[in-house]
Every structure is written in C-alpha cells, then in structure tokens.
Amino acid sequence: MLGTKVLIIDDDEGLLQLVSVIFKKSGAQVITATDSLDGISKFFLHLPDLVVMDVMMPGNTGFEVCQRIRQISNAPIIMLTALNAEQEMLRGLAAGADDFLSKPFNSEVLLARARTVLRRTRRSNGKTEHNRDDASFSYNDGYLSIDIERHEVLKHGKRIKLTPVEFRLLVYLARNSGKLLTFEKILANVWGNGYQGSMEHVHVYISHLRRKIEEDTRNPRYIMTVHGIGYIFEKQEIAYRT
C-alpha cells in the first residue's frame, strides 16, 4: 500500500482512528473525514486512490456519497456495513461501491480487500493485462454477448453498464458454462484473497447481475442456483430470443 492515497470517511472517531492506523502502518497516505459533506469535499480536493467509508453517517448517507464520487471517478470504494446487511450491500452496489466489509473486521482482511479492489480497478483501466484464458474467451448467443477486449457486455444489442467485479463474475461464470461453481470457487477466482467465507458477496452480486442480464429474474435462463452449493451458467443456443 506504499504511496497509496486513502480517504476514510466515518463519524465514529474510534473506528476512524483504527482504520487510519491500519492503513498508515501499511505505508498508505491517509486522509480522514468525519461526515459525508467533509468526505465529498476532501475527495474532490485530494482525489484519493481508494475510499473507505461507513454506510450510515450524519447528513448524506454513504450511498449518496458513493453516487457523488461515481459522477467523476472510478476510484474503488469499500463500504463498512452492519453484519448480514444484504439490503445495504445491494444499495451500495447500485450506488457504485466496489466492496463491502462487515463490522467488526480484521485488519489484515481490510488490507487484503483494499489491495484486491485497487488491482481490479487498475486492470479495468487497462494498466494490467487480462490473463491468457480470459483474453481468448468470447460469448454471443444472439441475445447476450461478452467482449473481453472491449470490456463490454451487450443485451439485445444494447450496452449494459457493469462494475469491474460484475464483469469479472460474468466472464468467470460464462467461461465455465455448464459447470457447478461452488461459492468457494467463485470467491477464490473472482474476489481473491481476503474473501474466504464471504458467501454474502456472491449472493448479492449474483442478484444484481441477474437484474442486468436476465429478462425475468424470477425465472433466470443464464445463472441458475444450486441451493447451498453455488451456481451454474447455462449457455444458450445461438438463435436464443425472448
């Protein structure tokens, strides 16, 4: 994390100090804000590489701050949430958050998540290469198409806006179509280190991805659930039309 500029926004002074120390010890340059308005102001002033913020704060919520930041920047955002707050995660994802961490959390887990979202953002910005397997993959069934080189997904010929995580998740599922992918495999291949046991991440992102690619989320054609185990991506025929 040496040299990484991190903005931490939290109205809880104790937690703000704790998170600040964690990042400072990793070599990061830390900027702090104790409310949403101060956080937005300092983001525009300092343009940090990473934002870590609480969901609930005085004034604007973390979701609103996230939306404001997304208007000008794709800097990764990690939101700190209450335990088992799936609805908060869904709202944060819709607002543009990159990751979520339930409180209380381990310092090493927080740093691992931070490194992962930073790598992911650099990759989506073209600063790193796709791996060889991904680069050779393509999918097009006449309804849904995935273009790795353009980092683009089309539905009925219209571009769908996906976050970097959603794109990686969809590519991983589609590349392994017809295979049962356990929660553990998905976490390891899409999220990487620091996410062991975070099945709620898979559930929330799958739910959001279905809303974007499926015609009917109650009767999905692509992403099928195997309850308690994982998911299967069902490849459609080329002539597939709704």
Q: Structural domains in the chain?
A: 5-124 (3.40.50.2300), 132-233 (1.10.10.10)
Model pLDDT, residue 129: 39
H/E stretch holding 86 reads helix 86-95
pLDDT at 133 over 60: no
Model pLDDT, residue 115: 92
Q: Report the helix count and the strand count for the chain, using DSSP H and E.
A: 9, 12
Model pLDDT, residue 238: 67
pLDDT at 151 over 50: yes
Model pLDDT, residue 212: 94
Bridge pairing between strands 138-140 and 144-147 = antiparallel
Q: Please provide the average confidence, as pLDDT, over all residues in the chain.
A: 86
Return all residues near 121 (Cβ < 8 A) that are at least 6 apart: 74, 75, 76, 98, 164
Model pLDDT, residue 148: 86
CB burial of 185-224 (b: ≥16 within 10 Å; e: otherwise) equals: bbbebbbbebbeebbbbbbbbbebbbeebbeeeeebbbbe
Q: What is the pTM of this model?
A: 0.69
pLDDT at 85 over 70: no
205 Rama class: left (phi>0) / alpha (psi -120 to 50) / beta: alpha
Taking residue 225's Cβ as centre, other Cβ atoms within 10 Å add up to: 13
Question: Cα–Cα distance between 28 and 199 in angstroms, integer?
Answer: 29
pLDDT at 154 over 50: yes
CB 52 within 8 A of CB 9: yes
- 73 DSSP 8-state letter: -
* Per-residue model confidence as pLDDT tens digits over 35-84: 988 999 999 999 999 999 998 887 778 888 998 898 888 899 999 887 55
